[in-house]
Amino acid sequence: MNATLSEEVREVRLRCTQHLTELHRLHLALLAETRALKRFTAAGRSTAEMEIVAELLEQYLSASDAFLENMRGRMEVRLGLLRRGEPLVNGKPEDAPGHGGFWLLFSRLCAVLKRAGRRVES
């Protein structure tokens, strides 16, 4: 991998990590909001707490499922192309450096896609 490609990969990973960090912050903010909902039940308005929590969970699950399904669909369509990216030396994959690592990553991706599919389908 040349320096430019290495930099690009590093930058993409960094941006994704930053997005996941922001998502974690949002999760914490949602948790803080929901902790305060018990005040409705304490005031005799438990229906308000249940309504808000049900809406929150429905919206969250819907958004999460949509994200997983979108990513799974995008990557499953690309599996054939990704598979053809197997390293070759003299036309032989088993002679290529990185051959085992390639298939380990490919298997990992397939396992994650399968797991994502089960979550969406359940």
What pLDDT digit, counting tens, does each position of 63-108 carry? Answer: 999 999 999 999 999 999 999 888 888 888 888 888 889 999 999 9
pLDDT given at position 57: 94
Q: Where do the H-state alpha helices sit in 36-88? A: 38-42, 46-83
Q: Which residues have CB under 8 Å from 55's CB, separation 6+?
A: none
What pLDDT digit, counting tens, does each position of 98-122 carry? Answer: 888 999 999 999 999 999 999 878 7
DSSP code at position 94: G
pTM above 0.85, yes or no: no
For 10-49, b/e burial (b = at least 16 CB within 10 A) is eeeeeeeeeeeeeeeeeeeeeeeeeeebeebeeeeeeeeb
